[in-house]
Structure 1
Amino acid sequence: MRIRQFAWPDYDAVAAVWATAGREVVPRAELAAKLTRDPELFLVAEDGLAVAGVVMGTYDGRRGWILRLAVHPGHRRRGIASALVGELEQRLKALGCPRVNLLVLPDNTAGLRFWQELGYLPMPDVLCTKAMT
């Protein structure tokens, strides 16, 4: 397995991983806007020639965020998710990031367990959101 920065030729394979993993596919335009900020924080894991997993992070100068992590179901239980998170954490640390946040849906008990095993602790914060359309 090899972890590297996302490149545009990866888009279709990354979109397929997101879709197969049951995640919303980030449209090209939205992804292009994200990549103008911190492209080094969008990583793919290759297993052979196939994109097996993907993680997208961002850093606003105060906090790092893990926005999206997905591993193709055919490649799970091989340590790919943990390796992607570990590489992202190293890159965030190199940028001077003091803390990393992420969101887990309340009914995702397996996801919450995964994140807790990596040292992420649940917080009692309340998520507020507003669509800007």
Structure 2
Amino acid sequence: MVQIREFCWRDYDDVAALWAAAGRDVLPRDELTAKLTRDPQLFLVAELDGAVAGVVLGTYDGRRGWILRLAVDPAHRRRGIATMLVGELEARFTALGCPRVNLLVMPDSTTALRFWQALGYLPMPDVLCTKPMGDTSR
């Protein structure tokens, strides 16, 4: 049975391995430390048989929620784990009074886009702009 719970530091190595297995960048501990001081209840893991099987990182700035770094262990995909993680994260956003949730999908990731659309997320014609701050080696 899958259990959704908040991330704790003993999960870090498993979460980092899962992100890597899913092709995601691994957030360093210092970045996660800063994130966890703000809204730790929005960093969730899915545990299956005592092991981390999925993860999602949410943030809320008081105006908009963001869903980041959703990943499920390739060995446990197609079991509804991602949907469960997103559902719990959405419930936590709602409890915080969050009026809208955003996320980014790479334009060539049609599978991901279909997943998000099935959950009610609609593509927007926004243009993403980014600027590296400070250390650009990451």
Instruction: Give the structure-2-normalised TM-score.
Output: 0.95
Partner residue of 2:51?
A: 50
Counterpart secondary structure, 2:38: coil
Aligned Cα root-mean-square deviation (Å): 0.4
Partner residue of 1:13?
A: 14
Displacement after TM superposition at 1:67 (Å): 1.4
Displacement after TM superposition at 1:7 (Å): 0.2
2:123 partner letter = P
Cα deviation, 1:109-132, whole Å, max 9, x if unaligned, reads 100000000000000000000000
2:33 partner letter = A
Separation of aligned partners in 2, 1:67 and 1:37: 15
Counterpart secondary structure, 1:36: helix
Could you tell me which runs of 5 or more consecutive residues in structure 2 were left unpaired when the two chains were aligned. Answer: none
Cα deviation, 1:8-31, whole Å, max 9, x if unaligned, reads 000000001101111110100111
Separation of aligned partners in 1, 2:25 and 2:5: 22
Aligned residues, how many? Answer: 133
Separation of aligned partners in 1, 2:23 and 2:101: 24
- Percent identity reads 77
Instruction: Give the structure-1-normalised TM-score.
Output: 0.99
Separation of aligned partners in 1, 2:118 and 2:24: 22
Separation of aligned partners in 1, 2:69 and 2:12: 15
Separation of aligned partners in 2, 1:9 and 1:25: 16
Could you tell me which runs of 5 or more consecutive residues in structure 1 were left unpaired when the two chains were aligned. Answer: none
Displacement after TM superposition at 1:99 (Å): 0.4
Partner residue of 1:86?
A: 87
1:58 partner letter = T
Separation of aligned partners in 2, 1:22 and 1:125: 25
Partner residue of 1:24?
A: 25
Separation of aligned partners in 1, 2:13 and 2:86: 22
Separation of aligned partners in 1, 2:7 and 2:21: 18
Separation of aligned partners in 2, 1:5 and 1:35: 11
Separation of aligned partners in 2, 1:31 and 1:104: 22
